[in-house]
Chain A
Amino acid sequence: MASPVWVVLQHREGQISRISWEAVGAAQKLAASLGGKAEAVLLGSGLGTTAAEVAKCDLAAVHVADHDALRTYTPGAFIGALAPAIQTAVPAFVVFPHTYQTVDYMARLAQTAGAGLLPEVTGFEDENGALTWTRPVMGGKLQSKVCVKGEGTVLVSVQSGAFPADGVVRGEAPIQSLEVDLAAVKPDREVLGYEEVGGDTVDLTKAEVIVAVGRGVGGADKMAPVEALAKALGAEIGASRPVIDNGWLPRDRQIGSSGQTVAPKLYIAAGISGAIQHLVGMKGSSVIVAINKDPGAPIFTVADYGIVGDLHEVLPALTEAVLAAKG
């Protein structure tokens, strides 16, 4: 493996996730910028058809580590497979989709392999061979520009939606086996099972209109104006994470990376500042309305329409206006 850029794809029982295709696109773009073709890495067990699918991309190679110990994700086995490969080939960058699984092992992989760690990037610029990366800080309120210094590999994760999944360049790539020696890997986590959180009794993905509330609502006893607007619009009620953590609404109302991903015709975000974890769950909505006291709240950057103000004043006025408009 002599390529400057690798991309490690995540899959669920062989199904490649959308954000992994985005990572492939990012890796192709990065490799082109550095002069070369990206190589893909797949970890798992029984990955024949999955590898064949990835091989339809313009890549220098698809490396497949097929091993029983990689069937179920554990950080120990994944790091045990990737760290020696990175240390041997020393690619300039290894690109990952920024998912909860990636974050669970990427930092420790960097520490183990002696690589740098650059999580959650949203883009990069190449200025005469010097790369500058963009990533959110302060919960997305600010964007930072980051440079990498020093020698050796850097592990990069790309944020959901930052690179288009349909930007992947098609082509043909040879499939190669990546030999891994996991005999010495000490099992670090015994996976007992997976559980659904709080049973999704409310399917927000089918709603045409959603009124979502954030921390700004101020308490479980202050939901009346939200309910009134939702009723007037025939909308479902959703929420950002702090509302759920505070127990103001049940968990099946949560929208965002650890809740449901929605794309309704109309999404009204009230008292939601717009942390990235929320934005990834709703930014595909056709029309987004933001209502927030803070004019600097990141939610306004993805919204089509906005009102700067206290939701407890704006929502009742909005309900009235909606009812008047509907006659």
Chain B
Amino acid sequence: MKIAVCIKQVPNTEARLRVSRDGRWLEEEDLPFIINESDEYALEEGLRIAEKTGGEVVVVSLGPDRVKEALRKALAVGAARAVHLSDPAFAKGDALATGRALAAALKRESFDLVLTGSQSDDVGYGGTGSVIAGHLGWPHVWLVMGVELEEGNRSAKVTREMESGVNEVSRVQLPAVLEIQAGLNHPRYASLKGIMAAKKKEIVTVTPADLGLDASQVGEAGSRLEIVSVAFPASGKGAQIFQGDAKTAAASLVEKLQKEARVL
């Protein structure tokens, strides 16, 4: 099967975050970027399906130059080649604008399956894969926890996570877009051989014009949403923080739990 996996490069949420000077997003200098967590699982699932069915994975990403690093990582773990939607016009898109651009890139080839992560760890709209499916006219399933190909790879039995510990099991006809939830598998690490091989693999760069799209249809211009500011949340009522070494802090906490909160 020919499988496309859409990945996003996002800031590492564990890193120390600073708000940019204009207050609209993060200061990107010295900010470490990684492949979005659920996208890593999507990539692993794509590689496993390609290995089982004898096919290839094409990894697709939208973003600035730094995204090439994420694409190289995907090539190093086994993707065959990469497509990079690289143009300033693509920047700051909402799920609808980004989904429109990615779908146009995917339409240039004929894929049997498209995988994405379920949600990005930065803006977290959680809808890009579904929008892609809408443009392609394919079925989609969001928050996928299991994929089993059936009927000679013409359909898939898909497990979707619901709230409160219940999963929905359904059958979708392929081609489809499956939006993968973290935890579905165990993503592999790149081998040295894989890293060396990735250097020779192709990354094709595409612009809106290559996709037959006007710059006004993608990125910030093609979006209905505009992030006007970001800020660390005011700490609400705020936790009372106990200072000192572990022993001192623990003793103060226990005293409060006994005398103030009365829960011990």
A interface residues with partner B (beta carbon < 8 Å): 75-76, 99-101, 103-108, 110-112, 116-120, 132, 136-150, 154, 188-198, 200, 209, 233, 241, 244-245, 251-252, 254, 257-261, 265-266, 273, 286-290, 294-296, 298, 300-309, 313-314, 316-318, 320-322, 324-326
Contacts and interface: CB of A to CB of B under 8 A. Distances in A.
Q: SS class of chain A's interface: helix, strand, loop or mixed?
A: mixed
Interface of B: 11, 13-14, 16-17, 19, 26, 94-96, 99, 121-128, 130-131, 133-135, 139-143, 157, 159-172, 182-183, 223-233, 235-242, 246-247, 249-251, 253-258, 261, 263-264
14 contacts: A111-B131, A137-B124, A138-B11, A138-B122, A141-B17, A143-B233, A149-B223, A194-B168, A245-B182, A258-B165, A289-B253, A325-B255, A325-B258, A325-B264
Contacts of A245: 182-183
B151 to A, nearest CB: 12
Nearest to A199: B165
Nearest to B165: A197
Contacts of B240: 304-306
A313 B228 contact: no
B172 to A, nearest CB: 6
Contact of B165 (A259, A265, A298): A259
Given A116-B225, A144-B230, A305 B242 contact: yes
**Closest 8 CB pairs between A and B?**
A107-B127, A116-B224, A245-B183, A306-B239, A111-B134, A317-B250, A303-B239, A107-B130
A293 to B, nearest CB: 10
A149 B227 CA distance: 11
A139 B121 contact: yes
B40 to A, nearest CB: 12
A314 B255 CA distance: 15
B237 to A, nearest CB: 8
Contacts of B228: 132, 145-147
B246 A105 contact: no
Contact of A314 (B164, B241, B250): B250
Contacts of A120: 124, 126
B169 A192 contact: yes
A196 B169 CA distance: 11
Nearest to B220: A149
Contacts, number: 268
Highest count of chain A CB atoms <10 Å: which of B13, B99, B164: B164
B235 A192 contact: no
Contacts of B226: 146-149
Nearest to A133: B225
Contacts of A290: 239
Given A101-B162, A118-B225, A325-B264, A141 B140 contact: no
Nearest to B172: A189
B14 to A, nearest CB: 8
Given A103-B143, A191-B168, A145 B236 contact: no
A190 B141 CA distance: 11
Nearest to B145: A197
A189 B165 contact: no
Given A191-B170, A304-B240, A154 B246 contact: no
A286 B260 CA distance: 13
A308 B241 contact: yes
B253 to A, nearest CB: 6
B230 A306 contact: no
A36 B94 CA distance: 29
A198 B159 CA distance: 14
B127 A119 contact: yes
A107 B230 contact: no
B201 to A, nearest CB: 29
Contacts of A75: 130, 140
Contacts of A257: 163
B150 to A, nearest CB: 11
Given A107-B99, A154-B224, A198-B165, 10 more contacts: A107-B96, A116-B225, A142-B233, A148-B225, A241-B183, A258-B161, A273-B14, A290-B239, A295-B241, A304-B240
A142 B232 CA distance: 5
Contacts of A154: 224
A300 B26 CA distance: 21
Nearest to B119: A103
Contacts of A301: 233, 235-236, 238-239
